[in-house]
Structure 1
Amino acid sequence: MAETMRVHTLMGEDLLFLTDDKLRRGIEAMFFAYRAFTADPDLILAGLDYGRAHHRALHFIHRDPGLTVTALLDVLGVTKQSLNRVLRTLIEDGLVESRVGRRDRRERHLHLTEKGAALERRLSEAQRARMRQAYRAAGPQAVAGFRQVLEAMMDPETRAQYQSMKDLPE
């Protein structure tokens, strides 16, 4: 039985954007956008024998200097073993310092060295330029809608974690 195209409404809103084809195109757009977003840093990382996990660690340590290893584990959502490999490399290469906690000596607080900050800046410059150009082209309403869609895709715990990070200095 052939279905005819009908406009469904919910509280007066057109829901044609929820068709399987539109959702598939949105998924594909995310895949291609992510590929473009990571392309420049990937080239830099490959030359240093690092991967995206190294980049994410550098990003979040830069974002929150003094972040504990436990907090970074929580933010990245990786295993302790996986993070330990990444941190060991970054520390051995002089990009990250691990300092003993003042209140709790069992805690390790992470800080970027000057070398680590320079690499993080290099990795994020191209991404910021790409985001800036896209934001400028899309306009403020689209940017707000984009962020709203991204936050709506997060599960409640992840969204709470992300929202708590918005309070950090940018």
Structure 2
Amino acid sequence: MAERPGPQGGQGLLFLTDEQLRKGIEAMFFAYRGFTADPDRILAEQDYGRAHHRALHFIQRSPGTTVGNLLDILGVTKQSLNRVLRRLMEDGLVEARVGREDRRERHLHLTDKGRALEKALSDAQRDRMRAAYRAAGPQAVQGFRQVLEAMMDPEMRRHFEASDKAGGR
């Protein structure tokens, strides 16, 4: 009796060679380069980098998030995040509001200008993802997400799942 393939597409995929894994790693590097290329061009016009993009993305995903929460999500030093946030605030893209319950907290929100930049950056990435997803098909999309989630550290997976629930997906 033949063994039925599992939801991941077959038992053979569970025993990948080092060469197959190397090709997957390279594919990830090159895909990431493509995924960030369009936003990088937009960011460069305003002398911003990927750290600015990540901050804008997660503030947009969770308006009112605290600086502490953003530190946890981004995994950067407080000094590094403060430098990024200071620039975004000076340029009128982000505002920090004092917490209602804890006045020591700063809740981050995008301004209209910040939302416009974040939308331009996200639209570029959504266009690339949409085209790739359409080309790959629904089963590949599901498998791709499973692989990405399996690669996440447990703490990051919790953040991801929480943002999934908050986003209503």
* TM-score, with structure 1 as normaliser: 0.90
Match of 1:63 in 2: 61
How many residues end up aligned between the 2 structures? 161
Match of 1:5 in 2: none
Kindly report structure 1 stretches of 4+ aligned residues shifted beyond 2 Å: none
Checking the alignment, whether the CA contact within 8 Å between 1:101 and 1:108 is kept in structure 2 is yes
Match of 2:3 in 1: none
Match of 1:42 in 2: 40
What is the CA–CA distance in structure 1 between the aligned matches of 2:54 and 2:142, rounded to whole Å? 24
**Aligned partner of 1:19: which letter?**
T
Give unpaired runs (5+ residues) of structure 2.
1-5
Checking the alignment, whether the CA contact within 8 Å between 1:41 and 1:123 is kept in structure 2 is yes
C-alpha change, 1:143 and 1:15, in structure 2 (3 Å) is closer
Q: Kindly report the root-mean-square deviation, in angstroms, between the aligned alpha carbons of the 2 structures.
A: 1.7
Please say which structure displays the higher CA radius of gyration: 1
Match of 1:93 in 2: 91
* Residue number among 156, 161, 168 corresponding to 2:166 in the alignment: 168
Match of 2:70 in 1: 72
Local SS of the residue matching 2:97: strand
Worse-superposed segment, 69-78 or 156-165: 156-165
Percent identity (aligned): 75
* Residue number among 119, 122, 131 corresponding to 1:121 in the alignment: 119
What is the CA–CA distance in structure 2 between the aligned matches of 1:16 and 1:169, rounded to whole Å? 32
Local SS of the residue matching 2:166: coil
TM-fit CA distance, 1:169: 2.1
Checking the alignment, whether the CA contact within 8 Å between 1:17 and 1:23 is kept in structure 2 is no
What is the CA–CA distance in structure 2 between the aligned matches of 1:118 and 1:86, rounded to whole Å? 18
**Aligned partner of 1:35: which letter?**
R
* TM-score, with structure 2 as normaliser: 0.91
